[in-house]
Amino acid sequence: MAPIGVGVLSFAHGHVNAYCTEMRNWTDEVKLVAAWDANQTRGKRQAEAFGMQYRAAIEDVLSDPAIEAVFIASETSEHANLIEAAAAAGKTIIVQKPLAFRLDDCARIQRAVEAAGIRFTVAYQMRHDPANQKMRELVQGGEIGRVGLLRRRHCIGVLFSEGFYTNPETQWHVKAETNFGMFMDDACHAADFIYWMLGMPVSVMAEIDNVLTDIAPDDTGVALYRHQGGAMSILINSSVTHAAVNTTEIYGEKGVIIQDYGDGPSCGAVAPPPDAVGVKIFRASEPEKGFQPLDVPVPPGHGARIHGVARPMVNWLKDESAPPPCPLEEALGSVHMCLGAYESAGTGCRVALPLAQ
């Protein structure tokens, strides 16, 4: 099989740099062909770094028959425009999260993807982390029985970093017009994880606000979801977290699963100890054994998780019969989960999910 030609539409979202860093080494599988970026300085710099051509017009990327797939990593506010253009050109699309932050943009994306009949996915890194995959395998395999409560904490510390919110290339993350809010930008990871584990919730209650800073539209949020059948899930997100350990708790009728070291603060400022346990399980049928560690490695840092998205994405590009790692319907679900949380926080009321279009 000839290498798959890949293009990049914007380097605004930094994760795409990790993907390209990996892909440029797999020359027998993928070829990084060309890139466009609204910020020409950034686009030219990054294209050169990855051995790609920089093209000043989007059309010059999308009209190239050598490019079969595009990574879209623009500001979230531009996703719908770029997806419409790439879909109309018949390209396979991998887009950064979240899908969008307006329901009308979600509808535009859905119409464009379905009308073009293209392959489409969202690059949600949690789905490719071995620890998360193991927990899902255990839950879906019935190891802890019916789940009553799941808590997922996903945090970052970027609002403590002046270089992040003052840098012209990254400050779009803290602007409402380009990114809505930090909860939307980062809690969407945990929302996708919850959807992936338990399915679409039926309601949400939430608090989202600026608690420690006033740099972005918000810096901290907590959402409580209710699922069909009664299960509850709690999403904790903060952009002002220096360090942490605990990440996930899943309580079931037959046991408990605990995960530590599952996000940036828990794998960053304070490195996990050499004997760190990533995932452990307690089985109610074997209480004398206590929590039993599972053979799931803790990554050397959170960056390794982001770099780890490239391999499954390339595998998916190579196998046209493979299902998308994150189908469009599920990406839409996490948008509803986050926007519903904002609505609840704003009104002080429980909000039914999915949201009315």
Do residues 249 and 147 lie in contact, with contact meaning Cβ atoms separated by under 8 Å?
no
Residue 269 DSSP class: T
The pLDDT-based confidence of 141 (bands split at 50, 70, 90) is very high
Residue 276, pLDDT score: 94
What would the pLDDT profile of 157-201 be if each residue is shown by its tens digit? Answer: 999 999 999 999 999 999 999 999 999 999 999 999 999 999 999
What would the pLDDT profile of 198-230 be if each residue is shown by its tens digit? Answer: 999 999 999 999 999 999 999 999 999 999 999
Instruction: Write the DSSP string, 145-203.
Output: -SEEEEEEEEE--GGG-HHHHHSTTTGGGG-HHHHS-HIIIIIHHHHHHHHHHH--EEE
> Residue 97 in 3-state DSSP?
coil
Homologous superfamily of the 129-300+335-352 domain (CATH): Dihydrodipicolinate Reductase; domain 2 (3.30.360.10)
Cis amide linkage into residue 265, ω under 30° from 0 = no
Please give the mean pLDDT across all residues of the chain. Answer: 97
The pLDDT-based confidence of 1 (bands split at 50, 70, 90) is confident
Do residues 267 and 261 lie in contact, with contact meaning Cβ atoms separated by under 8 Å?
yes
What would the pLDDT profile of 297-321 be if each residue is shown by its tens digit? Answer: 998 889 999 999 999 999 999 999 9
Task: Let me know how long the chain is.
Answer: 357
- Residue 72's DSSP bridge partners are 9, 95
Give all strands of the β-sheet with 201-209 in edge-to-edge order: 292-293, 279-283, 255-260, 246-252, 147-155, 232-238, 220-227, 201-209, 351-352
Residue 45: which of 79, 76, 20 has the closest Cα? 20
Cis amide linkage into residue 300, ω under 30° from 0 = no
What would the pLDDT profile of 86-123 be if each residue is shown by its tens digit? Answer: 999 999 999 999 999 999 999 999 999 999 999 999 99
Q: Residue ranges of the domains in the chain? A: 4-122, 129-300+335-352
CA-to-CA distance for 175 and 52, rounded, in angstroms? 30
CA-to-CA distance for 190 and 207, rounded, in angstroms? 16
Q: Which two tokens stand for residue 300?
A: 């050397």
pLDDT at 270 over 90: no
Report the run of H or E that residue 231 belongs to, with start and end.
Answer: none
CATH code of 4-122, in short, is 3.40.50.720
Q: Which two tokens stand for residue 251?
A: 């309580």
The pLDDT-based confidence of 271 (bands split at 50, 70, 90) is confident
